[in-house]
Amino acid sequence: MIQKNVPLKDYTYTKIGGNADYLAIPKSVEELAKAVEFAQKNNLPWMVLGNGSNVLIQDGGIEGLVILTTSLTNMTIENYTITVQAGAPIIEVSQAARDFSLSGLEFACGIPGSVGGAIYMNAGAYGGEIKDVCTYVTVLTSEGKIEKLSADQLGFDYRTSLVPDKNWIVLEVEFELEPGDQTVIKAKMDELTYLRESKQPLEYPSCGSVFKRPPGHFAGKLIQDSDLQGVQIGGAQVSLKHAGFIINKGDATAKDYLNLVHHVQKTVKEKFGVELEKEVRVIGRA
């Protein structure tokens, strides 16, 4: 179950990143717990990676054990509640909700993260956020206990939660949705999918939106108005299609990506006096 020296660029949306010293892809909660136990017994640092959609892994890779939850995808639907494991793509959960005429997850139809990642950062789009529909989250604590927490205990805020601070591993999530008209739900999702595909550079690897929205502004508009679209460092480029995205043109390194992020932050600060805060998580060894 434990692999050594595995390239992580194969598991990230940016197609960037060094190697994991050790990698585990558990197929059950029990295997996940064993992976954590392996790390603890061997005094290894460890971390959980969902499907690698909103992270930038540095070129030096990640020390210790990386646990991928992509095989933990079981989902059940009962009445208006969807219960799903953390590794399931949130897009697929929104599609299941649509198929069962349940409304509330339409906003998530284009978010490329896992359910666990969506909880980790309170993912959102088009006016909706995970906190709006999440009722309970089952986690594995750093002490090895499995606990079921209410949404109120998760400390949800804009693009954040208590999950990283508490070092919890999200195992399972319950979403409480509303009955709806499947035709209306599908139409809304089709509209949001069209908006996403027409505005975002999905043809290139990227980490999605790089920056949080600064109060009173839109990050993409500030970057565009700073004449930064098309600016490139190494293989990383500010997208010509959407200024809030930095794309991998084919051979970008994490160093390229971060140098461009810093250049964008510096330029926007100088031109508009606005600090752009990263939304993407930067992890690993430089």
| The predicted structure's pLDDT at residue 144 | 82
* Of 31, 101, 159, 281, catalytic: 159
| The predicted structure's pLDDT at residue 1 | 76
| The predicted structure's pLDDT at residue 161 | 96
Give the separation between CA 115 and CA 7, rounded to whole angstroms.
Answer: 23
| The predicted structure's pLDDT at residue 131 | 97
pTM, 2 dp: 0.91
| The predicted structure's pLDDT at residue 266 | 98
Q: Kindly report the CA angle at 221 between 249 and 202, in degrees rounded to 5?
A: 35
pLDDT, one tens digit for every residue, the chain (286 residues): 799 999 999 999 999 999 999 999 999 999 999 999 999 999 999 999 988 998 999 999 999 999 999 999 999 999 999 999 999 999 999 999 999 999 999 999 999 999 999 999 999 999 999 999 999 999 999 888 999 999 999 999 999 999 999 999 999 999 999 999 999 999 999 999 999 999 999 999 999 999 999 999 999 999 999 999 999 999 999 999 999 999 999 899 999 999 999 999 999 999 999 999 999 999 999 9
Cα distances from 85 to residues 127, 137, 155, in angstroms, run: 24, 10, 20
Long-range contacts of 255-258 (CB under 8 A, 24+ apart): 255/58, 255/59, 255/286, 257/14, 257/16, 257/56, 258/56, 258/58, 258/282
Give the separation between CA 110 and CA 112, rounded to whole angstroms.
Answer: 6
| The predicted structure's pLDDT at residue 143 | 82
Give the separation between CA 35 and CA 72, rounded to whole angstroms.
Answer: 14
Give the separation between CA 179 and CA 103, rounded to whole angstroms.
Answer: 6
Give the separation between CA 267 and CA 282, rounded to whole angstroms.
Answer: 20
Whether 58 and 12 have beta carbons less than 8 Å apart is answered as no
Give the separation between CA 123 and CA 26, rounded to whole angstroms.
Answer: 24
Coil, strand or helix at 78? strand
Which residue reads 């309970």 in tokens? 136
* Of 114, 209, 226, 239, catalytic: 209
Whether 238 and 228 have beta carbons less than 8 Å apart is answered as yes
Q: Is 98 a catalytic residue?
A: no
Domains of the chain: 2-68 (3.30.43.10), 75-184 (3.30.465.10), 201-283 (3.90.78.10)
Coil, strand or helix at 195? helix
Q: Is 209 a catalytic residue?
A: yes
The DSSP secondary-structure symbol of 157 reads: B
| The predicted structure's pLDDT at residue 107 | 97
* Of 129, 172, 174, 279, catalytic: 279
| The predicted structure's pLDDT at residue 142 | 82
Give the separation between CA 250 and CA 235, rounded to whole angstroms.
Answer: 6
